[in-house]
Amino acid sequence: SSFARTNLGLQVIHCPTQFVQQMILLKLLLKHRYQSGIIYVSSRQTAENLRKISKGLLPFLSVEAYHAGLSADQRTAIQERFIQNKTELVFATNAFGMGIDKANIRFVIHFHIPGSLEHYYQEVGRAGRDRDPSKTYLLYNENNLNIHLGMLNQNKDLSNQQRKRQLFKLHSMREFAKTSQCRSQFILQYFGEQNELACEQ
């Protein structure tokens, strides 16, 4: 099957600082108010902090945070509320979404850049499974690459070959964020697929 997801808009927004990231995030949440969305972050602390900020400034939204610091029962309950449309927005580490059968997710935001295009593609692919038009946003702050570089450096279990592979994936993710070509085409080329999409992404 093809990697092409023609109903997804893939947008990258360049953010020079974390403050700008937060302001753009709030604008996007306002733009997509009352729609189902997932906001992916790199840590449980960020998930909780952004949940509090958005709840404080946009109190009419139903918002939750999902991460490994919660019990299995708590995580299951959050998933159920999200599936049943009782919760609109979930700030989540990348553990969220696996196995969730929810067709009407209208937008996915990456507050932090993922470590690879594989992760990015999997996570944006949770939007628009009903094939209706859906939006995805990567809030790209160059400094966030250091999060992944730090984790790579701390992981002493990686062989040199594994480390090089991870660095290549991170480099490809950075190239995707900075490219001026069609982003859908970039993804297809990365996964080795030839497909001449008509594209404005």
Q: Which two tokens stand for residue 49?
A: 């902090």
The pTM of the whole model exceeds 0.85: yes
Return the ∠ at Cα 33 (arms to 29 and 35), rounded to 5°: 105
Domain presence at residue 154: yes
pLDDT at res. 23: 97
Output the domain CATH number for residue 24.
3.40.50.300
pLDDT tens readout for residues 162-189 = 989 999 999 999 999 999 989 999 999 9
pLDDT at res. 100: 76
Domain presence at residue 195: no
pLDDT at res. 199: 67
Residue 180: which domain range? 8-190
Domain presence at residue 42: yes
pLDDT at res. 196: 66
Total domains, the chain: 1
What letter does residue 137 receive in the DSSP assignment?
Answer: E
Task: Report yes or no: 106 and 36 within 8 Å, Cβ to Cβ.
Answer: yes
Domain presence at residue 201: no
> Within 10 Å of residue 41's Cβ, how many Cβ atoms?
22
Domain presence at residue 159: yes
The DSSP H or E segment spanning 12 is strand 8-14
Domain presence at residue 12: yes
Domain presence at residue 1: no
Domain presence at residue 200: no
What letter does residue 90 receive in the DSSP assignment?
Answer: E
> Within 10 Å of residue 81's Cβ, how many Cβ atoms?
15
Question: pLDDT means per 10 residues in the chain (201 residues)?
Answer: 84 96 97 96 95 95 94 93 95 78 94 95 94 97 88 84 92 95 92 71 51
pLDDT at res. 85: 94
Which residue reads 């400034």 in tokens? 57
